[in-house]
Structure 1
Amino acid sequence: MREEGRAGVAVIPDSARPIVDQITAAGVIVAWNLAPAEWFIVDALAKRSGPDMLAAAAVQAARRNRNGVSHARYFLRTWQALPPAPAEGTTAPNGPGADVIPLDPTAPRKGRAAQSADHLAAALAAMEAQQ
């Protein structure tokens, strides 16, 4: 692995391509010219937590950062704090989404909490529409 190819162009190892592609597809555009040792860390973390978890954590971290993220190095600390991927066949108690209580959209709501819920619902709908 080399840090950079021709004239500053990042060389992304094949093993990291799924992570980079998912993050880029989510609209998070960062520089990927990591040092060889950093690519080894990314590879080890992907084997431990899985590329999907790394990509999801990176997208969340980038969206939480109000100043924007310009380099993939920013994600390394976040990725190192992730747990290992769950064992194959592990499911949430009582199935996925069991702890979610659906709200009645026709019920009148008042206050800031309700407004926040409406804003979150609109943001989630927009994210789903982009996917």
Structure 2
Amino acid sequence: MSDGRSERARDAVAVIPEFARPLVDQITAAGVLVAWNLAPAEWFLVDALAKRSGLDMLAAAAVQAAARNRKGVSHARYFLRAWQSLPPAPALGTVPAAAPASNVIPLDRAQPRGRVAESVDYLAEALAAMEAQQ
């Protein structure tokens, strides 16, 4: 005969299913430390989402979601809603779309010029002009 406290304590211990171990390891290795004591139905959902979107996509989304949350994330349940919004993993062999062309003008580093160097040049020109007038 067991008392209610020992049953609750046993239920509070995170038992991570084998399929989810790589996901938990990736998220933990990224420094996101959360409780993983999910209910069986939630683990079933995680399994379905992992099959649909892939473990890498779920892990990346969890790390991003944790980084955006200023208060911190304490439980893996927080990720479930974000994971449900993810698209399916791309089919094998899919080529990523090309990135759009950049509208940034590259900095000419051949002659790095700072404000001080430009000021010295302006001052030298002004002195030369004053001497030429005398």
With normalisation by structure 2, the TM-score equals 0.68
1:9 to 10, 13, 17: 13
1:40 to 40, 44, 61: 44
- Asked whether 1:87 is paired with 2:95, we answer no
Match of 2:100 in 1: 99
Match of 2:33 in 1: 29
The letter for the 1-side match of 2:30 is: A
User: In structure 2, how many angstroms separate the alpha carbons of the residues matched to 1:85 and 1:63?
Assistant: 22
Match of 1:71 in 2: 75
Moved over 2 A (4+): 4-8, 98-108
Provide structure 1 residue ranges, at least 5 long, that are not aligned to the other structure: 109-131
Cα drift, residue 66 of structure 1: 0.3
Match of 1:61 in 2: 65
With normalisation by structure 1, the TM-score equals 0.69
The letter for the 1-side match of 2:35 is: A
Indicate if the aligned counterparts of 1:61 and 1:75 stay in contact, CA closer than 8 A.
Answer: yes
The letter for the 1-side match of 2:24 is: V
The letter for the 2-side match of 1:16 is: A
User: In structure 2, how many angstroms separate the alpha carbons of the residues matched to 1:103 and 1:46?
Assistant: 41
- 1:78-130 deviations in whole A, cap 9, x for unaligned? 00000000010001234xxx33648747588xxxxxxxxxxxxxxxxxxxxxx
Provide structure 2 residue ranges, at least 5 long, that are not aligned to the other structure: 1-7, 114-134
- 1:41-86 deviations in whole A, cap 9, x for unaligned? 0000000000000000000000000000000000000000000000
Across the aligned residues of Structure 1 and Structure 2, the Cα RMSD in angstroms comes to 2.5
Bigger Rg, structure 1 or 2: 2
Percent identical: 72
